[in-house]
Amino acid sequence: MPTPIPTDGAFKSTCWECSVNCGSIVTMRNGEVASIGPDPDHPYSKGNFCIKGIRGAPGLRDHPDRLLYPMRRTGPRGGGAWARITWDEALDEMAERFAAVRRTHGPEALVAATSGAYFSRSVITALMMRSMGSPNWMINQDLCGGCRAVSARVTGLDIDAGGDLAHTRCALVVGRNPAVADPVQWAALKAARKRGARVIVIDPKRTPAVDLADIWLRPKVGTDAALALGLCHVIIAERLFDESFVGDWTVGFEALKERAAEYEPERATAITGVPAEDIVAAARLYADGPSTFLSGHGIDAFAGGVQAFRAYHCLVAITGNVDRRGGNLRDKKPKGVTSYIEFLHRPAFRLAPEVEAKIIGADRYPLWSGPKAWQMACHNPAVIDAILTGKPYPVRAAYISGVNILLTYPDTKRTLEAMRSLDFVVVAAHQMNPTAEMADIVLPKTTSIEEEEVSYQGIGQSVLLARAVPPRGEARCEIDIARPLLDRMASLQALAADLVPWRSQREFNEALIAGSDITMEELETHGYARRDFTVGDFKAKPFPTPSGKVELFASALAAHDLDPLPGWSGEPIAAIADVPEAYPLELVTGDREKHYHHSRFREQAWARKVSPEPRLTMHPEDAQRLQLQDGRWVYVETPGIDARVRLQLKLSDATQKGVVSTGMGWWRPEVATPDRGVLDSNINAVLSYSGPYDPVTGSASIRGQRCRVSAAE
Ligand SMILES: Nc1nc2c(c(=O)[nH]1)N[C@H]1C(S)=C(S)[C@@H](COP(=O)(O)OP(=O)(O)OC[C@H]3O[C@@H](n4cnc5c(=O)[nH]c(N)nc54)[C@H](O)[C@@H]3O)O[C@H]1N2
Ligand SMILES: Nc1nc2c(c(=O)[nH]1)N[C@H]1C(S)=C(S)[C@@H](COP(=O)(O)OP(=O)(O)OC[C@H]3O[C@@H](n4cnc5c(=O)[nH]c(N)nc54)[C@H](O)[C@@H]3O)O[C@H]1N2
Ligand code: SF4
Ligand SMILES: [Mo]
């Protein structure tokens, strides 16, 4: 049983509003959350924190529009008419309807959507689906860190994303905007700079990190693999690589050398637009390590994302910046601690091989969706197709929790059409949102501060605990939905197995640390547990590849007829550039904002006051040509998608000429229509989800698509 939290007084915890996971102190008064703030003694976050943790998290919990009870729709789907029901009614109906779909179409006709195994709710959901016999679950990591994770896996580099800034001589910041995305990393980067560390930024946009940079490389969007190979080439040609690490701990160096030779600086310049002398200078600076690679979403989530990461991962490896102080440290998970993803792979929690082979996407993207894949999740666009076409087989019911797919998946109208066509949809959420509006049953979910989470966080090398304050209304966490649902399905004889053996979130959390010397009491006292670790323990802990070494030549890719060496293919860019001239601008999406987290917090007045409208950033010269003024409302349209969004123009030369950029996740909770403004304000309404796809992860490009911008009346 969790130790009760004080009704009056403070306790240590962890903010789980984002994966930075800052150490927090929560103060309670009369049993309610009075304030949330930073824990200055936290070994990783060191008192850094952000407004989303201070205001967003409690604001979400206490919002007057919070969903407090289960509800059933009373009119047509998407009609906005709802009636309160009890949890028993909701769970009975879910069990019956899921069982019926299972009987008629087979278990794999059930699909779940969650955000991915960075949250316990996602693992529980995946195991709940498996228990019903379905291997199908959608995660949003194809649009987030998926390319990075799969590159890391096939290369064997289980490294952090720049956690050892305190000891580095050079920080290489690539496609990462820490000033907005990560207050802990941003503080550490500024401190490193102050201490004299050098900074290289690779970003098409002038971000605040550029102000700290010794060298700023400004590549064309989507060309990073060529740039990183250009850096590798210089380092190899000038013999600046780490000969002993390469000799002892890598395979495929000669092959990489040959591949990199195709990217001598002049060719890299032709592809990327970055001057050759800057590539040479950056290579020399980075090679004078220890150097740390701060990688970001800016080179992920596009059709060449895995190869872009492979090229940088090889750069990190050949310079020996692996698991060395000031470089990129490897995973230091304390012995006996289980990660969420490990649970997904444990034999005891698996379905039969012939069932796993049916995961939608496994045929085309075995390293994303197959039985040996990272999270064994579906290729989402293929699921949407399956819902709409019945191919490769029918998908007829969905359980959606902890993800807002109508806002955060590209091609909103198509996702909407798919949701409308399903036989049965359940959405678990905090408030009515466009995704929940498409449900038959809506379930009230706990918010992050009402959930007890335990997880190892690589970048801080700590096991973290978020303690739970009492939920509002009848909100439940995932396991308290999954367990009674599975019990009901068992009595309907509609289970393939029971793969959620824990009766409570506490039992699940105890299972995560069961093999270690860490106790829940230790976590409850400090909010974290940290153990000493060894750096550079390659002999004791070889690399997790077939060769036991870092695979510059990746055998896992070769085994699937994928390019085993990093390389730049112009194909994804060519495929999206091959559009009518009427769409002359390149569109970058996903600019983060400090007070929003994806679709979250748009219901909160303080955040809307700071950032009231969705924006589009454009270079002043492009604006002049198009006769558009700062602050003006514009339409953004893309080829092949029958939709347009209305955004407010912001002129800035931070963005490249010919490139416009915008955020993501916009909607208007206050709008009365069920779509709640998503079709008008959210950039995903005009983005395509129909490829080209990354050949390894199946990721679609959420930047680099072509668009046109015109004045809105
Ligand atoms: N406040 C806030 N913080 C967040 C989030 C949030 O919603 N709000 N979301 C969190 C999540 S889930 C994520 S994944 C992270 C994402 O945060 P980051 O990892 O920082 O990624 P982005 O903000 O998507 O993009 C970072 C940079 O990539 C650049 N970029 C675009 N295209 C390219 C390219 O082709 N090459 C290179 N080299 N750079 C490119 C962009 O110009 C941008 O400056 O933020 C996390 N932090
Ligand atoms: N065009 C474009 N699309 C993008 C991106 C982009 O840059 N451009 N970025 C992508 C990235 S990096 C990401 S990570 C995804 C994010 O995509 P999402 O994960 O869909 O984004 P969130 O807004 O974080 O949605 C999470 C939702 O889960 C709810 N939730 C439901 N159940 C629970 C629960 O039990 N506990 C908690 N704490 N919350 C729950 C939250 O209230 C919120 O509504 O979007 C991706 N989509
Ligand atoms: S960066 Fe902000 S939202 Fe993310 S964990 Fe830290 S305080 Fe919470
Ligand atoms: Mo993300």
Q: Note the pLDDT tens digit of each residue in 236-251.
A: 999 999 999 999 999 9
Count the Cβ atoms, other than its own, within 10 Å of residue 612. 9
Within 43-119, where are the H helices? Answer: 51, 57-61, 87-105
- The answer for residues whose C-beta is within 8 angstroms of residue 347's C-beta and 6 or more apart is none
Q: Return the closest-CA partner of residue 537 out of 273, 230, 325.
A: 325
Torsion, Cα 222 223 224 229, to 10 degrees, reads 150
Contact 606, 639 (CB under 8 A): no
Task: Report the SS3 class of residue 190.
Answer: helix
Strands, DSSP E only, in 180-325?
198-202, 215-217, 250-251, 291-295
Closest to 669 (Cα-Cα) out of 400, 445, 434, 407? 434
Categorise residue 590: left if φ over 0, alpha if ψ from -120 to 50, beta otherwise.
left
- Give the residue whose CA is nearest to atom 33 of ligand 1: 298
CA dist 379 and 78 (Å) reads: 26
Q: Say how many residues make up the chain.
A: 713
Position 571 confidence tier, pLDDT thresholds 50, 70, 90: confident
Q: How confident is the model at residue 570 (pLDDT cuts 50, 70, 90)?
A: confident
Atom 23 of ligand 2, nearest CA residue: 599
- Which ligand lies nearest to the CA atom of residue 505 in the structure? 2
Q: What is the CATH number of domain 572-711?
A: 2.40.40.20
Atom of ligand 2 nearest to the CA of 60: 42
Q: Is the pLDDT reported for residue 580 higher than 90?
A: no
The predicted model gives 342-356 an average pLDDT of 97
Q: How far is the CA of 180 from the centre of ligand 1 (A)?
A: 8
Q: Kindly report the number of other CB atoms within 10 A of residue 51's CB atom.
A: 14
The SS3 assignment for 655 reads: coil
- Ligand 3 site, residue 49, Cβ cutoff 6 A: yes
From the CA of 591, give the closest atom in ligand 1: 23
Q: Mind listing the pLDDT tens digit for each residue in 142-193?
A: 999 999 999 999 999 999 988 899 999 999 999 999 999 999 999 999 999 9
pLDDT at 162: 86
Among 231-235, 256-260, 486-490, 670-674, the minimum mean pLDDT is found in 670-674
Place of tokens 């303690």: 467
User: Is 216 near ligand 3, meaning CB less than 6 Å away?
Assistant: no
Q: Tell me, using a 6 A CB cutoff, whether residue 452 lines ligand 3.
A: no
Largest CA distance in the chain: 71
- Ligand approaching nearest to the C-alpha of 667: 2
* Structure confidence at residue 574 as a pLDDT band (50, 70, 90): confident
Residue whose CA lies nearest to ligand 3 atom number 6: 22
Q: Three-class SS of residue 483? A: helix
Token readout for 506 is 């506490």
Query: Is-contact 436 427, C-beta < 8 A?
Result: yes
Distance in angstroms (rounded) separating the CA atoms of residues 520 and 506: 9
How far, in Å, are 12, 280, 647 from residue 522 at the CA level?
Answer: 11, 49, 49
Tell which residue, 220, 157, 169, has the closest CA to residue 199.
Answer: 169
AA letter at 540:
A
What's the mean per-residue pLDDT of the chain? 97
177 lines ligand 2 (CB under 6 A): no
For the Cβ of 178 lying below 6 angstroms from any atom of ligand 3, the answer is: no
Instruction: Give burial (CB, 10 Å; 0-12/13-18/19+) of 121.
Output: buried
Secondary structure of 306-363 as H, E, C letters: HHHHHHHHHHHHHCCCECCCCCECECCCCCCCCCHHHHHHCHHHCCCHHHHCCCCCCC
Mean pLDDT along residues 436-452 = 98
Bridge partner list, 616: 649, 662
- Asked if residue 476 has its Cβ within 6 Å of ligand 2, the reply is no
Question: Does residue 577 surpass a pLDDT of 80?
Answer: no
Query: Whole-angstrom Cα distance, residue 458 to residue 158?
Result: 9
Average pLDDT over residues 407-431: 98
Specify the pairing of strand 397-401 against strand 424-429.
parallel
Given a contact cutoff of 8 angstroms between Cβ atoms, the answer to whether 101 and 388 are in contact is no
Share of the chain above pLDDT 90, in %: 96
3-class DSSP state of 679: helix
Q: Which residues contact 490 (CB under 8 A, 6 or more apart)?
A: 498
Select from 597, 661, 649, 618 the least CA-distant residue to 175.
661
Which pLDDT score is estimated for 456? Answer: 94
As a whole number of angstroms, the distance between CA 455 and CA 466 comes to 9
**Ligand showing the shortest atom-to-Cα distance for residue 143:** 2
Task: Quote the CATH superfamily of domain 159-329.
Answer: Dimethylsulfoxide Reductase, domain 2 (3.40.228.10)
Task: Taking the CA atoms of 129, 133, 139 and 141 in sequence, report the sign of the dihedral they define.
Answer: positive
Residue 578 has pLDDT above 80, yes or no: no
- Which residue, chain included where needed, has tokens 């698509």? 705
- For residue 47, give the ligand nearest its CA: 3
Q: Average pLDDT, stretch 9-37?
A: 97
Q: How far apart, in whole angstroms, are the C-alpha atoms of residue 221 and residue 35? A: 41
Q: Where are the domains of the chain?
A: 159-329, 572-711
Q: How confident is the model at residue 458 (pLDDT cuts 50, 70, 90)?
A: confident
pLDDT of residue 1: 87
Shortest-distance atom of ligand 2 to CA 140: 15
Query: Residue 594 corresponds to which amino acid?
Result: K
322 lines ligand 2 (CB under 6 A): no
Residue 118 in tokens: 């960075």
**Amino acid in the structure at residue 623:** A
How far, in Å, CA of 709 to CA of 586, rounded? 10
User: b/e string for 74-92 if b means 16 or more Cβ within 10 A?
Assistant: eeeebeeebeebebeebbb
d(CA 111, CA 129): 7
Q: Residue 163: what pLDDT?
A: 84
Q: Could you report the per-residue pLDDT of 102-156, keeping only the tens digit for each?
A: 999 999 999 999 999 889 999 999 999 999 999 999 999 999 999 999 999 999 9
Query: pLDDT confidence of 459, banded at 50, 70, 90?
Result: confident
Give whole-number Cα distances, 650 to 487, 619, 632, in Å: 54, 9, 8
Residue percentage of the chain with pLDDT more than 70: 100
Q: Are 576 and 640 in contact (CB under 8 A)?
A: no
Atom of ligand 3 nearest to the CA of 597: 3
Position 179: which residue type? A
